[in-house]
Structure 1
């Protein structure tokens, strides 16, 4: 076996927000490389459809779970359930997240603020704490948090989202120290990716804005996969507490 090749044979990988967009591409990649994949999102039916699609493509085992990652108790129940169902979890990818639109900051309600912080920060923390502890007890693992360049380059239209993702960055570093050396905790910091949400954008306006990126375009969903695979693999054995930017040079 080529020691430089990605190989997740026999590994069990949990991906939140895995039924579509970036998470779906990650799930496809892990499955194609031999992993048993567990995908979770709020809509169980969407996860089941995604799981069937991936299995048909890769032949791998893909399991679907319902999870509202902003809900502390659901995260607790989910972590206990997947450990009971599958035993040791080797990789956790905290991918679920969203940034709701608002007209001005005074329009941000407490409900919206709490929802954004819950999904982008509270949930990932809770899952990482519970599964990370079990990883440490059973010999190691990897946690990859999906952050955002909004965490380091906040704008008026991303105030709660930027705050939550900045908190996720800090949590990433803190948990790397908490569960090191056996469990590595890192974050990918993506820029603009062309997922299904981007279909509702003003395409001409975005194309014009993208000219300020070094890559001159938005990213395709599969283009985040390499960073996630690297941080989840033994090739990143000396990488922990890192924030890996994947933004086509947009923040430079």
Structure 2
């Protein structure tokens, strides 16, 4: 990208970088690190390369999750449901195609969960 003098990078972050889960601290710490790398790269590579982060919340439950567990988690989401991998991919695609004046941002896609 640097040799070409332009480009875009999208990192798959996670909302848990800001709200760590006690039982998954290593994962949450790695996502917090990736968020910091995203912001640092955005500064280092500007103005030629834009760097973004996409931070999904619940974006597809593993099959092993019971209906009760799913309900417990989604009832706290203002939009009332889990997201889909396709919605996350669509956001990444929008940033890649249209993010000309955005860099260093971590965009949450969590159905509003981070608001509550």
Once the two structures are superposed, the pairs formed by residues 100-249 of structure 1 within 5 Å of their partners are: 135-194=1-60, 198-233=62-97, 235-249=98-112
Kindly indicate whether structure 1 or structure 2 has the higher relative contact order, using CA contacts under 8 Å at least 6 residues apart.
2
Shift of 1:168: 0.4
Separation in 2 of the partners of 1:193 and 1:137? 35
Separation in 2 of the partners of 1:165 and 1:139? 28
Separation in 2 of the partners of 1:157 and 1:218? 21
Question: What is aligned with 1:27?
Answer: none
Once the two structures are superposed, the pairs formed by residues 66-105 of structure 1 within 5 Å of their partners are: none
Shift of 1:226: 2.0
Q: Please identify the structure whose Cα radius of gyration is greater.
A: 1
Q: Structure 2 unaligned segments of length 5 or more: list them.
A: none
Select the structure that is richer in helix.
1
Q: In structure 2, the residue corresponding to 1:137 is in which secondary structure?
A: coil
TM-score normalised to the size of structure 2?
A: 0.93
Q: Structure 1 unaligned segments of length 5 or more: list them.
A: 1-134
Separation in 1 of the partners of 2:60 and 2:73? 14
Q: In structure 1, the residue corresponding to 2:80 is in which secondary structure?
A: coil
Number of aligned residue pairs: 115
Shift of 1:209: 2.4
What is the alpha-carbon root mean square deviation over aligned residues?
Answer: 1.1
TM-score normalised to the size of structure 1?
A: 0.44
Separation in 2 of the partners of 1:179 and 1:194? 33
Paired residues of 1:150 and 1:158 also in contact (CA < 8 A): no
